[in-house]
Structure formats: C-alpha cells, structure tokens
Amino acid sequence: MSLSTTAVSAGRVLFLQILFLFLCVATPRALAGDAARSPAENLRQLQALRAGYLYEELNWTVNAEFVPKPVRAKLTRLKHDLRDRIVAAMEQDADAEARPDAIKEAITLRFKKDGLTEHGREDYLRYARRFRVRAAEPPGHSELRSVILEIGIPVGYDSSLYIFSRRASGWVLVLSSEVNGYASVQEAQAFFGYKVSPSAADGSWFVVTGSVNNYAVSAWQGLTYTAQVPSDDPERPRVMVREHHKICLFDFLGHEDKAFELAPSVGEFRVSFPHEFAHEHGIAWVVDRFRIEDGHARKISRECHFNRARGRRIRCP
C-alpha cells in the first residue's frame, strides 16, 4: 500500500471518528430519553443499538467504548427499572429466611412478568442483551442479603450492588452501589467483588468493593476500590474511600475478579493487587491498609510484596 493510500485511509478513519462523535452529541430522535413508554420498550430500544461505527472497508469498529448521552440515560433507566423489581421482590416476596436461590427466583419472575428479558442473540457490541442477578448472605451477617445486578454492555458488564437488611417490617434496601452516566464503558463497575466487614460493637458495618474496568486488549488495566457505609438515603451511601490504581492482569486473564483481594475487619481494611513490574522478573503486589475512625477512613500504610499478596516484602517500584 502506498504512502498516499495509507494517508487517505487514516484520514477516513479520523473523519468517521469525528462524524460519530457529532452524531452522538446531536441526540438522534430515536434515542430520545422519553421515546420509550414502558420499561420493556426502553429495554428493547437499548438491545437494538450497536456500539461504535463499523468502518467496513477495514472491518474496524470505531469508538466502541464511547457511550452517547441518550444511551447513558437509557442505561440508567433500565438499571433502575431492574433495581425497583429487585426491591419489590425483597420487600414482597422474600420470607424471613430469604434463601439466595429463592431470592434469585423471585427477582427473575418479576423481570419476566414485566417483559424484562434477555435477547435471544448475544453480541459483544450490544447493550443489555444479557443481564443476571446473584444473591448471597454476606459471611457473618445473617441479617443481611446482597444482590449483584450485572447488565451486559459493549466490551463487558456493568455491575451494581444492593444490600438489604432484615427489619421487623421485612427486608429493606440499606445500601446501593452503582455507577451511572458514564461516557466510556471503561468507567462502569466490572469484574466486581465486595466484602462486608464484621459488625462493630454498635452493630455498624461497612462494605469494601473492587472492580476492574472493561477492556478489549492489554493486561494493564485499572482497579477501582471503595469503602462505603450506609446513610439515611440507601441510594447515596457515604463513600469513605474511592481510589483508582493500575493493575497487572497477566496471571488473571479470564479471572479478573480474582486479581485483587479485599480484607475488611472491625475498624480496618486492606486491599491487595498486582501493580507493577518488580526486580527479579516478578510483579510487585501492593497492599494498601486503612483505618476507620469516627466514620472516616485514613490510609495508614502501603507495602509491596513479591509475586503475591503475602510474598516477600520488597521496595515498592
């Protein structure tokens, strides 16, 4: 291929990128936030969309990670439509025992009743063609139940966490951990993990979460971890810590949710993850430690260990 032909092809790609961004900002009527009259219709509209722009001459998909503003609104609406049915299932269908398998079944029935079902054909670059729920009893907390909602988005998943507490009136949502309105699918919570701390003397607890961003290539990605406590508004937990760091996934491709370790205890927690190349052809694992005092978290140390979280201690790169 001649230099001039290469330049023309590159110019076309650049033009298509600019055109795609322009069209997204223009807010097509077909994606208008009020176009869908029901939760099921909003879901079907999302499932019909394809991320990015297909440049057929080179078989490239341009800007697959970009989420246009109208799509952001539709994703948030879908997430809250599903969340509302999760809450209704916990409040109205779950008994005092609330076994995780029974919770999942009750939620799935409510989804189907309102036409919120997965698409028959899965596509790597489509929105909401697949979604699922996972329910659990957090270890050491028989009074709590957790539900993780995963919605398929281009290049991966969007995960949300909902924690319910058993009260005299039944199961009540006390903490909701979501990420909404993102411009890139890399900002969504994906490869998600969480752990609830043991209860303090006053019965209080906090939750530590971790997520690795969605990605298509490269073992070098980003880890976001948080520490959150319930507030008066379950949809707005108080975030004590939110940090973002580089993470190395060489040993965890296909198992990214196992690439970090979360370890909360009463009044403290630590987060461990493979961070950077170290000497001797190994990987430096970072161990960040925090102490919680008067409702605030403070980092008390950062250590580095060779090749694993509890390996030989080394100097941090």
The pTM (predicted TM-score) of the whole model is: 0.87
What does the domain layout of the chain look like in residue ranges?
8-190, 197-228+236-317
Which residue's entry shows tokens 């270890």? 139
Contact indicator for 264, 208 with CB cutoff of 8 Å: yes
User: Dihedrals φ, ψ of 199, to 5°?
Assistant: -70, 140
Please name which of 164, 190, 167, 166 lies closest in space to residue 86, comparing C-alpha atoms: 164
Task: State the amino acid at position 187 in one-letter form.
Answer: E
23 phi, psi to nearest 5 deg: -65, -35
Mean of the per-residue pLDDT values of the chain: 88
CATH architecture, domain defined by 197-228+236-317: Beta Barrel (2.40)
- Please enumerate in sequence order all residues whose Cβ is within 8 A of that of 225, keeping only pairs 6 or more positions apart, or say none: 208, 209, 210, 211, 241, 242, 243, 260, 262, 271
pLDDT at 283: 92
Q: What is the pLDDT of residues 80-136, one digit of tens each?
A: 999 999 999 999 999 999 999 999 999 999 999 999 999 878 778 899 999 999 999
CA separation for the pair 288, 224 (Å, rounded): 13
Closest CA relative to residue 158, chosen from 65, 41, 290, 26: 65
User: For residue range 243-293, what is the model confidence (pLDDT) as tens digits?
Assistant: 999 999 999 999 999 999 999 999 999 999 999 987 767 899 999 999 999
Longest CA–CA separation in the chain, Å = 75
pLDDT of 191 over the 60 cut: yes
Measured in degrees and rounded to the nearest 5, phi and psi for residue 218 equal 80, 135
